[in-house]
Amino acid sequence: MASVLPEISITTQSSPTKAPAPKRQYPGALVVVEGIDGSGKSTQLYLLKRWLEIGGYRIHFTEWNSSPLVKSATRRGKQRRLLTPTTFSLLHAADFADRCERQILPLLHGGYLVLADRYIYTAFARDAARGCSPHWLRNLYSFAPVPDITFYFRAPLDVAVNRIVAGRPKLKYYEAGMDLGISLDRAESFRIFQERILNNYDAMVDTDNFVLMDGTVQVNKLQKLMRQVLSDKVELSKFAPKK
């Protein structure tokens, strides 16, 4: 079952299939945050990263869709609106594979604590919401190391959507799911698209061992809880500065 924290009360549909525990064939550890846009995950990971940096821990930060090798191709495809759900998914997979090979795995083998803002579960939730086969997606990312902790920041749909809409002058075409033809209104299309993604995330809570985090809890309290879970599940002394 998923790790459920005291402040959180979320009911999800269980599944008989459960993700394997990390094989830990390396001295490092991998900590991941997931959630829909506006869930608060990036803010919390940034605060955790700064806390670890100040403490002198050996860490590395990586984020979704950030490989310089693939980023320009993705940007051109978005600008020209040429991306189908499958090509979009394959570009993200290529981006992830490049970062996994050049950053994530070498640093895990080098004894680093790797922090990832979004991981393969973003593809499982978002690309499936675009119509890609969940089985195909799982197979596509089967090479990815299993995280030691996957924090799933869950905020109610309306809360998350309002946070994003309030902070954006205009929603981007693919961000709003306009390529799916859900609605001619960008705000409405975005809401429907995010709801599909949220449902896909909820379906993974038990099968992928997510640690549920209530995205509506006060920022400092949520950060304290995140640090507590990290300390309980990961031997931080391995990444501390040598005395």
* Per-domain residue ranges of the chain: 3-8+27-232
Over the stretch 88-118, which tens digit does the pLDDT of each residue have? 999 999 999 999 999 999 999 999 999 999 9
**Domain 3-8+27-232 CATH (choose: 3.40.50.300, 3.30.70.100, 3.30.830.10, 3.30.160.100):** 3.40.50.300
- Cβ–Cβ < 8 Å for 58, 112: yes
Give 32's pLDDT tier (boundaries 50, 70, 90).
Answer: very high
pLDDT of residue 16: 40
Structure tokens at 99: 């970062």
The shares of helix, strand and coil residues in the chain, as percent rounded to the nearest 5, are 50, 10, 40
How buried is 187 (Cβ within 10 angstroms: 0-12 exposed, 13-18 middle, 19+ buried)? middle
The average pLDDT across 124-138 equals 97
Give 72's pLDDT tier (boundaries 50, 70, 90).
Answer: confident
pLDDT of residue 22: 55
Round to whole Å and give the CA distance between 57 and 209.
25
Residue where the block lists tokens 């931080």: 236
- Strand-pair partners of 4: 212
Q: How high does pLDDT run on average in the chain?
A: 90
pLDDT of residue 19: 56
pLDDT of residue 7: 40
Round to whole Å and give the CA distance between 68 and 192.
31
Over the stretch 176-230, which tens digit does the pLDDT of each residue have? 999 999 999 999 999 999 999 999 999 999 999 999 999 999 999 999 999 999 9
